[in-house]
């Protein structure tokens, strides 16, 4: 397994949530339909009959709510992976505590439902007296219904056996590589919902409206080990949240910044490019710092040569050789200082041009002027920026069977 994949696995756990909910439905049979008018049902190869409800579906609402809550808890800080959720290892204790609470609530709701099961079926028959017969003959026993309710969870670490075929290793690495793209996709879904429900058409909002963007920020921060471009995006959100007033309505330019940030997060590709761009902009001053050190060393050489000249004035025999050394140092100093005299020329003329200019291009340009130190630093940046995980998109659709949820 590659080192990158192993680093990701070492920082996460896999949470599997298993929930089963009784559907209270049975297949509708031909004999359940009374065609007194002599009409004919279509053949099976053309159409199929649906299902009939055995009790009020509102009786099952609590179980579906708990199931969705468990999913939201896992997705709040994790992302879908291998039929479960990849969770930062550091966040696992908090997730386990919340899932344990849901398990207890689910068990209490199950006990209450089973206690009132017969009454619920009877009430459904009373509400549909003309179809009492087809309801009553399809009713399940309380004992059977009890087996159709369950909620459980499992927290495991993911690893590979020491001996495994190469194709299996490649398959797992592909799944691990898709985690980054899946994370950005889920953030985009949350951002779209945030825009639609809290920002669109609003001239002002309260601080409660910031909760979704804070949740997105926490999710990105927790899963930052999946993609090196996440950290600068988190910093962007932090800078925005720091400038929001503590009291009063949020409106005007700061509200527009929140909208712009949400629109950025709603586009996975732009979010990744934004993080990459911030990293490149951060690398540019580092390259300049390397050139500043080279200039300092050059000036130090000139000072040393001047000191030698002062001493050699009492030694005419070596005066000519020392003067030649000083002249050589002056020449190198002039060559080293010449590009720096133009380095900051026009840097504040047009900030949009500066943002559009690639940091790699700036570093390469300085190296071409004769700065070996800057050239070495630029190569390091290229290697760092090239470390991007291979990702593929997973739809992660939930099963359509209403009785089972994995």
Q: What CA–CA distance (Å, rounded) separates 167 from 173?
A: 10
pLDDT of the residue at 67: 95
Pick 65 or 357 by higher pLDDT. Answer: 65
Three-state SS for 159-188 is: CCCCCCCHHHHHHHHHHHHHHHHHHHHHHH
Most confident option among 95-104, 137-146, 270-279: 95-104
- Count CB-CB contacts under 10 A for residue 34: 9
Strand partners, 156: 14
Gap between the Cα atoms of 239 and 278, Å rounded:
13
Question: Both tokens of residue 217?
Answer: 């920020």
Paired residues of 15 in beta bridges = 85, 155
DSSP E strands, 307-367? none
Q: If phi over 0 gives left and psi between -120 and 50 gives alpha, with beta otherwise, what is residue 201? A: left
User: For 213-269, how does the pLDDT look when each residue is reduced to its tens digit (9 = 90+)?
Assistant: 999 999 999 999 999 999 999 999 999 999 998 888 999 999 999 999 999 999 999
The residue that leads in pLDDT, 6 or 236, is 236
**For 131-144, what is each residue's pLDDT tens digit?**
888 888 889 999 99
Q: Which long-range contacts (CB under 8 A, 24 or more apart) does 234-243 make?
A: 235/278, 236/261, 236/274, 236/278, 237/213, 237/261, 241/210, 241/213, 241/214, 241/217
DSSP class of 347: T
- The backbone region for 248, taken as left when phi is positive above 0, alpha when psi lies in -120 to 50, beta otherwise, is left
pLDDT, position 163: 75
Indicate the SS3 state at residue 19.
Answer: strand
For residue 193 the two structure tokens come to: 């919902």
Residue pointed to by tokens 């369950």: 150
Question: Which DSSP symbol is given to 139?
Answer: P
């Amino acid at each position: 397994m590659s080192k990158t994949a192993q680093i990701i696995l070492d920082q996460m756990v896999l949470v599997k949530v298993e929930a089963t909910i009784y559907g209270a439905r049975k297949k509708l049979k031909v004999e359940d339909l009374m065609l007194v008018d002599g009409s004919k049902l279509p053949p099976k190869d053309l159409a199929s009959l649906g299902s009939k409800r055995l009790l009020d579906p509102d009786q099952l609402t609590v179980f579906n709510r708990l199931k969705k809550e468990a999913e939201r808890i896992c997705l709040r800080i994790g992302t879908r992976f291998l039929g479960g959720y990849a969770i930062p290892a550091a966040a696992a204790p908090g997730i386990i505590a919340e899932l344990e609470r849901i398990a207890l609530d689910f068990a209490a709701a199950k006990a209450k439902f089973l206690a009132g099961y017969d009454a619920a079926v009877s009430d459904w028959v009373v509400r549909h007296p003309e179809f009492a017969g087809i309801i009553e003959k399809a009713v399940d026993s309380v004992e059977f219904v009890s087996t159709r309710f369950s909620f459980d969870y499992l927290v495991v670490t993911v690893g590979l056996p020491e001996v495994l075929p190469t194709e299996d290793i490649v398959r797992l690495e592909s799944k691990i590589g898709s985690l980054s793209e899946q994370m950005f996709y889920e953030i985009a879904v949350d951002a779209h919902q945030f825009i639609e429900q809290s920002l669109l058409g609003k001239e002002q909002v309260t601080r409660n409206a910031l909760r979704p963007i804070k949740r997105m920020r926490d999710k990105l921060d927790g899963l930052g080990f999946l993609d090196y471009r996440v950290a600068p995006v988190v910093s962007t959100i932090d800078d925005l949240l720091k400038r929001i007033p503590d009291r009063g309505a949020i409106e005007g330019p700061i509200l527009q910044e929140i909208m712009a940030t949400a629109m950025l997060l709603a586009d996975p590709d732009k979010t990744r490019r934004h993080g990459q761009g911030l990293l490149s902009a951060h690398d540019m001053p580092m390259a300049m710092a390397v050139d500043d050190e080279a200039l300092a060393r050059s000036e130090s050489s000139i000072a040393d040569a001047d000191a030698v000249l002062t001493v050699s004035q009492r030694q005419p025999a070596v005066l000519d050789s020392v003067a030649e050394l000083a002249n050589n140092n002056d020449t190198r100093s002039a060559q080293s200082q010449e590009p720096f005299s133009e380095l900051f020329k026009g840097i504040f003329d047009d900030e949009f041009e500066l943002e559009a200019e690639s940091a790699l291009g700036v570093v390469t340009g300085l190296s071409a002027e004769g700065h070996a130190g800057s050239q070495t630093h630029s190569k390091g940046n290229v290697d760092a920026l090239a470390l991007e995980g291979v990702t593929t998109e997973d739809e992660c659709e939930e099963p359509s069977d209403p009785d089972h949820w994995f």
